[in-house]
């Protein structure tokens, strides 16, 4: 039977330019993983299509090298926080998608959290009987409501909860995140679809370098991602770093500023850490795993985190990692013994960092275990195959609880 799996991510790149944002990478990986899985199994009846909206861009094309189709609709509204869908997109939904849905030949995965366009689409899909899955890419952890609390709470009650309850399933990056939904009164079935790696992000094994046992230079720790104090827990990390007994340790925070860099730099100055903490702008010219190769350890101290793609990329570089337990990558770090898993508190991050620093002679072994685990278990082709099986089960009226 013919089947099209659509993925909606409003700002997805409509051309073949490099993808830097974590959600774009995840959507491209999954859409491409479905293509490669079908090629491997000889399943010629499945299409994988990413839907997006951009001002002045109305196009249908194949994205290379992944092989999925990208369809962009011309939306004059440039602010993604505004309510508004492209007129041609509305027509596509009402005509093409509605017809496919009547034949049972499509499912749409909406990739976003607290997004007005997704709310509008969910209402449109309900009107036309189009089945959809919501993939928020973050858990609905209590901390997610802290920034702009009243506004987010209002949006939750009037919009987000309706989107979740109207979905055939909620696609989470870690099945443990289902309990946050249950605590909020959402009992929609849940499926787990993890993140994977892009082949271009895998450093050749010959490029891996490790600290020599006699190397007495300062240990270098890297955080790579948005400089977001609340989400990424960077204030917790700086406080924990200040409490380390080891003085021959340096910390680098690298990534795009989302408005918190100034406050984080001030926190470092207040703790007299300016000579030991370095802030760097994002560098999209270098694969994240290659950036991780310049450091000894990697940290992701998030208060809430869907998966932790930057830490996965550090594992490809054979770097021991510290992640917090909420991250979807945490079970994989535990399973592979590829680092440490802390709670999102200053004391836990400090103590687990101390423990990891005390195991310098094991860093190579720890890092190589993590790399092997990612290469074996987090391949997009395998992920795409498993996701496609879940999507078909959803269309048959069967899904996980």
Query: In whole angstroms, what is the distance from residue 65 CA to residue 82 CA?
Result: 32
Q: Which two tokens stand for residue 38?
A: 């079908």
3-196+379-395, CATH topology level = Rossmann fold (3.40.50)
Domains 3-196+379-395 and 199-377 share a fold: yes
Query: In whole angstroms, what is the distance from residue 72 CA to residue 54 CA?
Result: 7
- Per-residue pLDDT for 216 more than 90? no
pTM: 0.93
Say which CATH class 199-377 falls into.
Answer: alpha beta
Q: Where are the domains of the chain?
A: 3-196+379-395, 199-377
pLDDT score, position 40: 93
Query: In whole angstroms, what is the distance from residue 321 CA to residue 192 CA?
Result: 23
Q: Which two tokens stand for residue 322?
A: 């510290």
pLDDT score, position 225: 96
Any idea what DSSP says for residue 71?
E
Mean pLDDT of 208-236: 92
CB atoms within 10 A of CB 311: 31
Q: Which of 161, 115, 110 is nearest to 134 (CA)?
A: 110
pLDDT score, position 116: 94
Q: Which two tokens stand for residue 5?
A: 């799996």
- Quick: pLDDT tens for 152-176: 899 999 999 999 999 999 999 999 9
Query: In whole angstroms, what is the distance from residue 44 CA to residue 250 CA?
Result: 52
- Quick: pLDDT tens for 1-44: 799 999 999 999 999 888 888 999 999 999 999 999 999 999 88
SS (H, E, C) 166-224: HCCEEEECCHHHHHHHHHCCCCCCEEECCCCECHHHCCCHHHCCCCCCCCCCCEEEEEE
Mean pLDDT of 336-342: 98
pLDDT score, position 214: 78
pLDDT score, position 201: 87
Query: In whole angstroms, what is the distance from residue 232 CA to residue 112 CA?
Result: 18
| Averaged pLDDT score across all residues of the chain | 94
- Per-residue pLDDT for 147 more than 80? no
- Quick: pLDDT tens for 347-364: 999 999 999 999 999 999
Mean pLDDT of 224-246: 96
Return the H-helix or E-strand segment holding 299: strand 297-300
- Per-residue pLDDT for 400 more than 80? no
pLDDT band at 326 (very low <50, low <70, confident <90, very high): very high
Provide φ and ψ at 108, rounded to 5°. -110, 130
- Per-residue pLDDT for 81 more than 80? no
Strands 69-74 and 59-62: antiparallel
Q: Say which residue, 98 or 77, is predicted with more confidence.
A: 98
């Amino acid at each position: 039977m013919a089947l099209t799996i659509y993925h909606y991510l409003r700002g997805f790149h409509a051309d073949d330019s490099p993808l830097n944002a974590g959600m774009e990478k995840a959507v491209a990986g999954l859409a491409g993983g479905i293509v490669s899985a079908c090629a491997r199994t000889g399943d010629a009846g499945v299409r994988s299509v990413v839907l997006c909206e951009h001002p002045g861009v109305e196009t249908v094309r194949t994205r290379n090298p992944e092989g999925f189709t990208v369809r962009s609709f011309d939306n004059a509204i440039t602010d993604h926080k505004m309510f508004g869908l492209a007129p041609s997109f509305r027509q596509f939904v009402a005509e093409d998608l509605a017809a496919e849905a009547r034949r049972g030949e499509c499912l749409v995965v909406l990739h976003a959290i607290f997004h007005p366009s997704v709310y509008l689409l969910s209402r449109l899909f309900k009107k036309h009987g189009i089945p959809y899955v919501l993939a928020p890419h973050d858990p609905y952890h209590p901390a997610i409501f802290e920034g702009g609390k009243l506004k987010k709470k209002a949006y939750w009650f009037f919009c987000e909860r309706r989107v979740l309850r109207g979905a055939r399933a909620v696609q989470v990056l870690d099945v443990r995140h289902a309990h946050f939904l249950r605590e909020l009164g959402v009992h929609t079935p849940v499926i787990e679809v993890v993140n994977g790696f892009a082949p271009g992000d895998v450093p050749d094994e010959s490029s891996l370098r490790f600290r020599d046992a006699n190397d007495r230079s300062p240990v270098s720790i890297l955080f790579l991602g948005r400089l977001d104090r609340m989400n990424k827990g960077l204030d917790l990390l700086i406080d924990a770093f200040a409490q380390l007994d080891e003085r021959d340790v340096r910390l680098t925070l690298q990534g795009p500023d989302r408005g918190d860099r100034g406050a984080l730099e001030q926190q470092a100055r207040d703790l007299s850490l300016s000579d030991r903490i370095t802030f760097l702008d994002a560098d999209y010219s270098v694969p994240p795993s290659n950036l991780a190769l310049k450091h000894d350890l990697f940290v992701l101290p998030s208060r809430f985190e869907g998966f932790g793609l930057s830490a996965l990329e550090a594992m490809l570089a054979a770097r021991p990692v510290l992640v917090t337990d909420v991250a979807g990558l945490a079970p994989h770090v535990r399973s592979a013994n590829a680092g440490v898993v802390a709670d999102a508190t200053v004391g836990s991050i400090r103590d687990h960092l101390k423990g990891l620093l005390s195991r310098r002679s094991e860093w190579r072994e720890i890092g190589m275990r993590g790399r092997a685990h990612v290469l074996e278990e987090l391949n997009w082709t395998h992920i795409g195959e498993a996701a496609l099986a879940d999507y078909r089960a959803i269309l048959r009226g069967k899904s996980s609880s």
